[in-house]
Amino acid sequence: MEGLFEVPGAGAPAPGSGVPSAGSLGANTHASAPLAVRMRPRTIDELVGQQQLRAAGSPLRRLIEGDQSMSLLLWGPPGTGKTTIAAIVSQQTRRRFVEVSAVAAGVKEVRAAIDGARAELARGGQETVLFVDEVHRFTKAQQDALLPGVENRWVTLIAATTENPFFSVISPLLSRSLLLRLQSLTDDDVAEVIDQALGDERGLAGRTALDDDARAHLVRLAGGDARRALTYLEAAAGAAASNGLDVIDLATAETAVDQAAVRYDRQGDQHYDVISAFIKSIRGSDPDAALHYLARMIEAGEDPRFIARRLVVHASEDIGLADPTALQAAVAAAQAVQLIGMPEARINLAQATIHLAIAPKSNAVISAIDAALSDVRSGKIGQVPPHLRDAHYGGAKGLGHGKGYAYPHDEPFGVAEQQYLPDVLADASYYAPTSLGAEAAVRERWERIRRIVRGTG
């Protein structure tokens, strides 16, 4: 049946299923299977990364070791182990493994999978793990069809999604499942996956070595995705074998995955040099240069959250009120990075980069706050003028607090002439708007307001 795959939890794949069984994810996987399939962890302890899920007493470990019937919703980026976790649960609890394709299956297939699991239980057979990958692609009706199986525990549902389930999964299903958040693998995690594959009998079995530059290149390209790292490693190993090499060097790795290495050390000079050039290109209003440095950071695997944070800072530091929408654009890009992740968020980062690069520039905001901070740090503080002090508590008026305060809304233009700064700073001027972009109108208005407030007009 299209969109529905069934494999016994501890046996061979169902005939014609086209997918590996839970058993075949381990040592019995045939040699021609992709490296990423052969190297799939067989137990929770073989899982790389996700320490919070593997810890003693964690819900996932209790589910596996206690053989409980509990539905899971796995939320995380690609290549972090969602499918692997489903297979581990099936194999270690000796349940049947049935996968429903969220791309190809409809309500009919979902109900057929649940009816099959129910019939198996009625015959006294195995319980069933029903794995639904990319559950966010299911319609509400398809997700509704999963509920009877979950509520009656006819299946142990394990649903996986790369999107925020609070937006993409119906509330009844969300409330009946344990939500587990998977984190992107670190570079060290990906390097561990690669090293295991190099030496493990299921992998390359020590037949091929990998030099340090090539390893660093593959780790960067993987972007926290273990499956991608193993796919690239397999391609590089094949290229090395074709050339009669027993060591994968950088040139071989570059050729095998058709992508040149980006020389970029996230902990070294390149990290600071490239981000500096990125910001200075935006400040210099050159979107082409800014996009070049953005692309270099993305290809090198730079943390997109770091890039987004720099855009948010730059929007106020170098643009400010010359284009008030710049900060909105930068914050929106930062939120998009958190919401959808890479690689899609590259588009949002690019849009914000272009917006900020072509925006009129003003450093009046940072100049203003830094000047104010300089005065405060030098001791120019002074007492808050009495008419501005809090007058809401008992006895405050007797101290003269609030006396003489002019309520701006009672004035003709909503602006009152009165002193706001302490005496020691009565003539201080911090904000000096430019005549660039939208700040030109702000400057004109501020000059009029300042004359009224300070009584100089």
pLDDT band at 7 (very low <50, low <70, confident <90, very high): very low
Residue 14 predicted with pLDDT over 70: no
Residue-wise DSSP of 351-411: HHHHHHHHS----HHHHHHHHHHHHHHTT---PPPGGGS---STTTGGGTTTTT---GGGS
pLDDT in tens, 328-379: 999 999 999 988 888 899 999 999 999 999 999 999 999 999 999 998 898 8
| Average pLDDT, rounded, for the chain | 83
pLDDT band at 425 (very low <50, low <70, confident <90, very high): confident
Over range 311-338, report the average pLDDT.
Answer: 95
Q: Count Cα atoms within 13 angstroms, Cβ side, for 415.
A: 13
Q: In this predicted model, which residue has the larger pLDDT, 261 or 109? A: 109
pLDDT in tens, 388-403: 777 666 565 656 677 7
Over range 195-213, report the average pLDDT.
Answer: 91
pLDDT in tens, 174-187: 998 989 998 888 88
Residue 175 one-letter amino acid? S
Strands 156-161 and 96-101 come out as unpaired
pLDDT band at 24 (very low <50, low <70, confident <90, very high): very low
Residue 2 predicted with pLDDT over 50: no
Asked if 264 and 271 count as a contact pair (C-beta separation under 8 A), the reply is yes
Give the helix ranges, DSSP H, for 6-106. 35-38, 51-54, 59-65, 82-92
Q: Pick from 130, 106, 99: which is nearest to 117 by CA?
A: 130
Domains observed in the chain? 35-181 (3.40.50.300), 187-266 (1.10.8.60), 272-361 (1.20.272.10), 385-454 (1.10.3710)
pLDDT in tens, 442-452: 888 888 888 88
pLDDT band at 1 (very low <50, low <70, confident <90, very high): very low
Over range 267-290, report the average pLDDT.
Answer: 83
Question: How many angstroms separate the CA atoms of 316 and 331, rounded?
Answer: 11
pLDDT of residue 258: 66
